[in-house]
Amino acid sequence: MSLSSESNFQIIPPAGHGEKGANAGCLPEGVGPGSDNGGVRFRRPFGRRRLAVAGVVALAGLGGVVVVTRPSGRGRSAVEVQASGAPAPGAAAEPPGGPPAVDDPLAHFGPPSVSSTAPGPSSSSSSSTSSTTSSGPVTVPTRLPAPTTTTTVMDCASASPVYVFGLERRPDGSGWAAGGNPALQRSTDGGLTWTPACLPAGAVTGAGALYGVVFDAVQRYGWAVGGSGGHPVVFRTVDGGDHWLTGRVPDGIAGTLMDVEFPDDTHGWAVGPLTGNGPANASGGVVLATTDGGATWVTQAVPAGIGRLSRASFVDPAHGWAVGMATGGQPVLIATTDGGATWANQTLPAGIRELRDVGFLDGRTGWAVGALPVPLPAEPGKDDPGVILTTVDRGTTWTQQATTVGSLWSLQVIDGQTLFAGGGYGLFSTHDGGGTWAKQAFTLPALDAVSFSDATHGWVSHSMFSVVCRTDDGGRTWVGSDVRGGYKGSACTSS
């Protein structure tokens, strides 16, 4: 069966779990025990499924399936949602001015832990069903005017956040930190405090981490990538991060995903290394692509000799770039002009030891950052110099623009004049398009996660620390916060 155009949802917190706690992000803000979340409308304009959101809850239906999350053991929280079917003939229609629609072209929820089907009456009479969680029985009153209703239950993965590998600061000051175990942390107060998101437990099959997180310009659609149990994982949201769904990645890939890029809300790419050894500390690079907003992903072929891929940049659904390392240990930069149908190596200047990040302003102007070889004589503790490359012709030619005292790990392009680069013991910035760079010393060994929403407001972090440093004055002052609950953020700078 399929859900009709009108349905009702009810939010029931599981027994023994309140609205507050370590995983409070699993329960939408403002939704209390047994509160009604209103009407939810499903529409199909142009053949695409659209899900209307009531309050702060957004779910997706496909073939009558509705997501329900629940606890599955100590340290896990949940939200339970029960959906009804279509109103009976003659029932009152929903009043105009209903909730706004959220586009979700293809819903995929990952492996369910429980699935059940309840028969319903053929008339508009009321009925109720009962569901049982690991914390005890919970009665879910549900109107069932439709013939059947199918419920899919998903658990929230245990959240034990540690480290910060990826950052996404939004213009309104809220944002996300991707990290170990794996975990995804949310801040709604400018990076002062953090709350774990509810990730589907069925996709978290073992140890791992999330490394990349990105949102669209309107802050509704978002994606997070990484690895768990030795395999890539992709999570996506269609309601600003209130709920996270699992993207379907190809089977048989051993590795992880380090970065994700979406130039619009349907076309996306994720890159990373395949598990292995050798000079690249991997056995190859992987590129995954999606054309349905991250619901399903396919692999794209990369040039021969790619040892690993680490970061990517796309300016539109056709033009993209990715940096990494060749199987022999040399830096590589690959590019596509056809959405990844083909990728080709670009020529780099001689003498570059490593490239770690790439960013483009438009289809022609871009930068890449990394490191030069450590100068001789080699001395213990001597850092390799950083290098900035630039192009104005889509990467047909790359030139060395500047060097820095200390290697560079991450890059954020704000506009044609202002860029930030995280490096060894400092943040580097330029306000003349990369001609000159100034360094601000940090206590963190390297800043390999940098996210600025504009030239004034930004977050930085080192991957093996759990501290996010934030600035609201363009980097003149910094304040640290710890993504682990109960820990005090350490000092970011020595001054």
Cα distance between residue 59 and residue 66, in whole Å: 7
Name the phi and psi angles at 24, rounded to 5.
-60, -20
Q: Which of 96, 73, 181, 85 is nearest to 127 (CA)?
A: 85
Q: Which of 224, 223, 225, 227 is nearest to 208 (CA)?
A: 227
Cα distance between residue 115 and residue 154, in whole Å: 9
Distance of CA 367 to the CA centre of its chain: 23
- How confident is the model at residue 261, as a pLDDT? 98
Contacts of 18 (CB under 8 A, 6+ apart): none
Query: DSSP secondary structure string, 408-454?
Result: EEEEEE-SSS-EEEEEEEEEEEESSTTSS-EEEEEEEEE--EEEESS
Q: Which amino acid is at 444?
A: L
The tens digit of pLDDT for each residue in 292-305 reads 999 999 999 999 99
The tens digit of pLDDT for each residue in 452-468 reads 999 999 999 988 889 99
Which whole-number Å values give the CA distances from 129 to 68, 80, 105, 137, 141, in the listed order? 14, 13, 30, 11, 6
E-strand spans in 120-221?
129-133, 136-140, 148-155, 162-169, 175-180, 183-187, 195-196, 208-215
Domain ranges of the chain: 6-155, 162-482
Which whole-number Å values give the CA distances from 343 to 266, 273, 337, in the listed order? 20, 16, 8
Q: Which amino acid is at 128?
A: S
Q: What's the pTM?
A: 0.72
Q: How would residue 185 be classed by pLDDT, with cut points 50, 70 and 90?
A: very high
Residue 441 tokens, joined: 């010393």
- How confident is the model at residue 464, as a pLDDT? 83
- How confident is the model at residue 444, as a pLDDT? 84
172 three-class SS = coil
Which of 3-12, 72-81, 380-389 is the least confident region?
A: 3-12
- How confident is the model at residue 97, as a pLDDT? 41
Please give the average per-residue pLDDT across 60-84, as a whole number: 40
What average pLDDT is seen over the chain?
76
Residue 73 tokens, joined: 């053991």
Contacts of 393 (CB under 8 A, 6+ apart): 364
Cα distance between residue 184 and residue 205, in whole Å: 16
Distance of CA 189 to the CA centre of its chain: 19
Partners of 412 in the β-ladder:
420
Q: Is the pLDDT confidence value at 58 over 80?
A: no
Quick check: 435 and 401 in contact, CB under 8 A? Answer: yes
Partners of 215 in the β-ladder:
222
The tens digit of pLDDT for each residue in 6-29 reads 333 332 333 333 333 333 333 333
Whether omega for the bond prior to residue 182 falls within 30 degrees of 0, making it cis, is: yes
Please give the average per-residue pLDDT across 340-348, as a whole number: 98
Name the phi and psi angles at 105, rounded to 5.
-65, -30
Q: How far apart are the first and last CA of the chain?
A: 64
201 three-class SS = helix
Quick check: 206 and 228 in contact, CB under 8 A? Answer: yes
Residue 213 tokens, joined: 């997180």
Indicate the helix (H) or strand (E) that contains 357: strand 354-360
Q: How would residue 227 be classed by pLDDT, with cut points 50, 70 and 90?
A: very high
The tens digit of pLDDT for each residue in 233-259 reads 999 999 999 999 999 999 999 999 999
Q: Which of 351, 348, 367, 370 is nearest to 359 (CA)?
A: 367
- How confident is the model at residue 495, as a pLDDT? 60
Which whole-number Å values give the CA distances from 387 to 29, 332, 357, 405, in the listed order? 45, 14, 11, 9
The tens digit of pLDDT for each residue in 129-178 reads 333 333 334 344 444 455 555 555 668 998 888 899 999 999 999 999 99
Contacts of 486 (CB under 8 A, 6+ apart): none
Quick check: 102 and 66 in contact, CB under 8 A? Answer: no
Cα distance between residue 61 and residue 41, in whole Å: 10
Q: What is the third-level CATH fold of 162-482? A: Methylamine Dehydrogenase; Chain H (2.130.10)
